[in-house]
Amino acid sequence: MEANNFKQIGVWMDHSKAHLIGYKNGMVHMIETVDSPIETMVRVVGEGSDKTRFSSNGLNSSNNEHRKHNISQKELNEYLKMMEGRLCHFEDILLFGPGIAKEQMRNRLRDNKSFDGKWLSVQSSDKLTENQLLAFVRDFYNSSMP
């Protein structure tokens, strides 16, 4: 089944990947898994600690921490933008998963005017197997839809 057949979707997401699960007429289907571009443990060859000094006088300190933060923010922004593009075709969106990625996605969708009038819901869940993901989305939409 293609993603175009579904108007309701469940998205399990964390910062490493997202699973898109379509729902229609009581049936659920795994649409795709999106891998995140966020790299968690990046080690640059020759890089010291964030406290590394560039000169012996101690006045010019490193901006490693600032640079790493900027890189991680750009990667997160790229991931959320990629997900936003995949979710724009759906009318009802359920975001669920561990951590704060789902809230970050919800906030980004709320700020986007093309998502005005679309139904958004956020639920917490643990890591789930594929069958548990499908059951979670099916149970959610069966209990929330008349």
pLDDT of residue 29 exceeding 80:
yes
Burial 30-59 (b: 16+ CB within 10 A, else e): ebeebebebeeeeeeeeeeeeeeeeeeeee
Question: Is residue 39 scored above 90 in pLDDT?
Answer: no
Domain membership flag for residue 103: yes
Q: Does any domain span residue 15? A: yes
Assigned domain for 96 exists: yes
Residue at 34 is within a domain: yes
Q: Where are the beta strands (DSSP E) in 14-64?
A: 17-24, 27-35
pLDDT > 70: percent of the chain: 79
CATH of the domain at 32: 3.30.420.60
pLDDT at 118 over 70: yes
Residue 65 domain-assigned (yes or no): no
pTM over 0.85: no
Number of domains in the chain: 1
Between CA 84 and CA 62, with CA 70 as vertex, the angle to 5 degrees is 170
Task: Decide if 53 is inside a domain.
Answer: no
**In this structure, is residue 13 part of a structural domain?**
yes
- The yes-or-no verdict on residue 55 having pLDDT over 50 is no
Does a structural domain hold residue 63? no
- Which residues span the domain enclosing 20? 3-39+81-144
Query: Among 18, 77, 1, 24, which residue's Cα sits nearest to residue 9?
Result: 24
List pLDDT tens digits, range 125-141: 999 999 999 999 999 99
Radius of gyration from C-alpha coordinates of the chain: 19
